[in-house]
Structure 1
Amino acid sequence: MSDIFQSAALSEYQKSASQIATGKDSLVALKKSYERYDNLIAKAINDSTTKPACKAGCAFCCHYKVEARAHEMLLIRDYMGKTFTAEKIETVLAEAKANAAIIRSITPEQHLTTNLKCALLQDNQCSIYPVRPFRCRNFHSTDANACEQSHNDPHNMEIATGMIEDVAIYADAHTQGFEAAAEQTGRDARIYDFNTALIEVFTEPNALKRYKTGKKTFPNAIEVI
């Protein structure tokens, strides 16, 4: 484990643990963690001679298998409730349900090689970009052509889309730092399939209570083991 990984992970763990312990709402701590993440990654990219090929409108990665923690899904629900119309939420959930039906009919391994458009991808833009999960934030590529090739041939796991090493290290370290801080509180630390959790975050009336007490926040969502 590299020194920069340990340093970044420890720094985020200490800041998040303090904010979660003293705050009434862990979702506020998550939003602050996202802000620190964005600043950290922006600096890492600025310091790198290699730059990501990612840009607005390039959304090949938004068809990949995504997993998320309960606190991330709860923050997404909060964001959607404040910025989406009721009709728009229903449209998103309908698409998530269509995706979920496919996901439940295939194995996790098959899911890795199956393109499914994210229900929150609209006009090739992420409609919840400020609160997108760590898994989405952590992905970047240095080769847009390779991303397109991977999208067009999802069964070919040998296609390398490229990454900036320090950016990947900082991203993973920061993510693990926050998750370690959240886990020590006794809240639900399970990992969920994004589509099935997205449906249930809107349909499970006791989701927040279940999360805070460490129970499975989304009883019917697919839990990633």
Structure 2
Amino acid sequence: MNPTELPEQLQAFYHDGYQLGKKAAKEVHHETVFLEQIGIMYQAIDALIDSLLTMAKRQQVPVDCHKGCAWCCHQAVFANSYEVHYLGNYLKKNFSLTEQEEIIRRASGKNRRTKAMSEQEVLSYKSPCPLLIDGACSAYQARPMACRIYLSMNVATCREFYEHPDHPDNFPALFDFPLQAGKMINEGFIAALKEAGILVTEFRLEEGLETILTQGSNL
């Protein structure tokens, strides 16, 4: 991908991700500093989402995402290896061993089901995220980029997608710009890591959770 071919606003997100990725790559053996760069990347996207929410409220544009609405928490989520590393670090610091074991149990069960599926079957499969507790994300502060940029304008479309995922016309009515911005900042971060010879792998979230909580941070 040539970042110069992107619209100017998206170029800026790619550039920011690339610069953070360069800093992370230099500190790959210093976990705290490495993870800080991922946190800064997430903060940038969260600030964008906050600005969009403020603007949407001012312009009376509906935003239907709120705590307790979890239709999207039953669909496929993919995360890069450094995101899984960040999430695993958060869980190990903030969850008891018993709580971690319960997440492993749920993640392992879902992973056994999804790893045998085709890509299309995974995308259509609906099952609660291993981190979903009482209708809310139990690791919200450390959730992957895919979860942060998912912003719905119409909850009815989310429910329809949950109930009828195989219908070709069913897809949630999402705000497009945060989707694109999140993708570009992640792409920039990945590009910098790869330039430094650091392998980046994509995981189904349940697969990544099981791996990071049972095998450690060597993803």
- TM-score band, normalised by the shorter chain? 0.7 to 0.9
More off after superposition, 83-92 vs 18-27: 18-27
Alpha-carbon distance between aligned partners in 2 of 1:78 and 1:131, rounded to the nearest angstrom: 9
Q: TM-score scaled to structure 1, two decimals?
A: 0.84
What is the CA-CA distance between 1:160 and the residue it aligns to?
3.2
2:41 maps to amino acid? S
Alpha-carbon distance between aligned partners in 2 of 1:144 and 1:82, rounded to the nearest angstrom: 33
Q: TM-score scaled to structure 2, two decimals?
A: 0.86
* Match status 1:199 vs 2:210: yes
Aligned to 1:95: 106
Alpha-carbon distance between aligned partners in 1 of 2:213 and 2:184, rounded to the nearest angstrom: 30
Aligned to 2:150: 139
* Match status 1:65 vs 2:68: no
User: What do residues 176-223 of structure 1 show as CA deviations (whole Å, max 9, x unaligned)?
Assistant: 222223332222211112112211112225x43xxxxxxxx2xxxxxx
Matches within 5 A, 1:201-216: 201-205=212-216, 207-208=217-218
More off after superposition, 85-94 vs 154-163: 154-163
What is the CA-CA distance between 1:22 and the residue it aligns to?
5.5
Alpha-carbon distance between aligned partners in 1 of 2:62 and 2:190, rounded to the nearest angstrom: 27
Would the aligned equivalents of 1:52 and 1:164 in 2 still touch at CA under 8 Å? no
Alpha-carbon distance between aligned partners in 2 of 1:34 and 1:64, rounded to the nearest angstrom: 21
* Match status 1:42 vs 2:50: yes
Would the aligned equivalents of 1:51 and 1:164 in 2 still touch at CA under 8 Å? no
What is the CA-CA distance between 1:45 and the residue it aligns to?
3.5
Match of 2:176 among 165, 169, 175: 165
What is the CA-CA distance between 1:96 and the residue it aligns to?
0.9
Would the aligned equivalents of 1:114 and 1:155 in 2 still touch at CA under 8 Å? no
Would the aligned equivalents of 1:100 and 1:196 in 2 still touch at CA under 8 Å? yes
Aligned to 1:115: 126
Would the aligned equivalents of 2:23 and 2:37 in 1 still touch at CA under 8 Å? no
Alpha-carbon distance between aligned partners in 2 of 1:183 and 1:116, rounded to the nearest angstrom: 33
1:77 maps to amino acid? G
User: What do residues 36-74 of structure 1 show as CA deviations (whole Å, max 9, x unaligned)?
Assistant: 221122223433443421111111001111111111111
Match of 1:3 among 4, 8, 19: 8
Identity of aligned residues (%): 22
Alpha-carbon distance between aligned partners in 2 of 1:95 and 1:8, rounded to the nearest angstrom: 34
Aligned to 2:3: none
User: What do residues 85-130 of structure 1 show as CA deviations (whole Å, max 9, x unaligned)?
Assistant: 1111111111111111211232221111110110100011111111
Aligned to 2:186: 175
Q: Which protein has greater RCO, CA pairs closer than 8 Å, 6+ apart?
A: 2
1:47 maps to amino acid? M
Matches within 5 A, 1:23-38: 24-25=30-31, 26-38=34-46
Note closer, same or farther for the CA distance 1:86–1:19 as it changes in structure 2 (3 Å cut).
Answer: closer
Structure 2: gaps spanning 5 or more residues: 1-5
